[in-house]
Amino acid sequence: MTGVWVHAVAGTAGASTAHGINDTAVRWVGAGGLFAVVSPVDVEDYEPDRLEQHLSDLEWLERTAHEHHRVVTAAAAAGPVVPAALATVYHDEARLVDDLTRHRDELTAALDRVAGRTEWGVKAYARFDAPVDAPAAGGGPGTAYLHRRRTELATREQRYEQATEAADAVHEELSAHAVLARQHPPQHPQLSGAEDVTVLNGAYLVDDDRTAEFERAVEALGARETTLRLELTGPWPPYSFAAAPALRAGVAS
């Protein structure tokens, strides 16, 4: 059964040339002054059991998230959008139209909230790269090794605690430069591509006319916090700040 995968909702229909899920052509569905950009998909692929299998398949997740993001980014280039959660699927357009109409005020408020603003991400990784000077220990080579290993582990734990405290301070300072801010759980290393320990996975909704100021703040904090390595990502569509309960993951009933 063919249904529709929702990528995002906007106040106007765009002319996106991006291809959607499985490289299918996208189109716009309008209702109540709102427009959803959608891809055709097989609904049975996104019923609870199948969706759970998909979400545990990192290869599927990476490919599909890229296809979804490609469409959301193209739509966002033309104006504010409310990105839908990954794998938001409707049995048919009629049910989507009903949700757009019933949740019009909520979706319109979300669009207003992100207009003229962009999401930026800042990740902070704990730095463990400084050498450890372990005090000399008596005994043979085995005793010295165990002593050195205990010192390294204790030092690593201490540096991790220092890094988490520094990350909290970084998040607080960056939040002052943003309209809204959120902390997300650290990404799975296979998704982030980073081997370091993540101590901050922050998202910040920044006024477009304050972007340079925000970037300077990240740079200054990166230079100041010796226990952290900061990574700025973006600009992103407002995934963290415009989500609507009406556009939830899974097949809408």
Please, which pLDDT band fits residue 246 given cuts at 50, 70 and 90?
A: low
Clarify whether residues 140 and 208 are in a common domain.
yes
- Which pLDDT does position 134 carry in this prediction? 45
| Residue 45 and residue 144 in one domain | no
Does the pLDDT of residue 97 top 90, yes or no? yes
Same domain, 109 and 127: no
Q: Which two tokens stand for residue 130?
A: 């400084």
- Tokens linked to 217: 């703040």
Q: Give, for 33, the enclosing helix (H) or strand (E).
A: none
Q: Give the tens place of pLDDT for each residue, 216-230.
A: 999 999 999 988 999
Quick one: average pLDDT of 181-202?
Answer: 76
Q: What is the CATH number of the domain that holds 146?
A: 3.30.70
Report the C-alpha dihedral over residues 135, 139, 142, 145, rounded to 10 degrees.
0
Is the model's pLDDT at 232 over the cut of 90? yes
Nearest to 79 by CA among 104, 115, 49: 115
What's the pLDDT tens digit per position in 28-58?
A: 999 989 999 999 998 888 888 888 888 888 8
Spatial separation of the C-alpha atoms in residues 134 and 147, rounded to whole Å: 8
183 and 150 in one domain? Answer: yes
* Structural domain range at position 34: 2-115
CA atoms within 13 A on the CB side of 196: 19
Q: What pLDDT is attached to residue 251?
A: 63
74 or 135: which leads in pLDDT: 74
The string of pLDDT tens digits covering residues 108-137 is 999 999 999 999 999 999 987 644 444 544
User: Is residue 168 one of the residues assigned to a domain?
Assistant: yes
Domain stops at, among 93, 115, 137: 115
64-71 mean pLDDT: 94
How many domains would you assign to the chain? 2
The average pLDDT across 208-221 equals 97
Model confidence at 82: pLDDT above 90: yes
Q: Is residue 97 part of a domain?
A: yes
Residue 253 lies in a domain: no
CA angle 76, 57, 61 (to 5 degrees): 5
The yes-or-no verdict on residue 250 having pLDDT over 70 is: no
As a whole number of angstroms, the distance between CA 239 and CA 205 comes to: 10
Domain stops at, among 63, 80, 115: 115
Which residues touch 244 (CB under 8 Å, ≥6 apart)? 9, 82, 103, 106, 107, 110
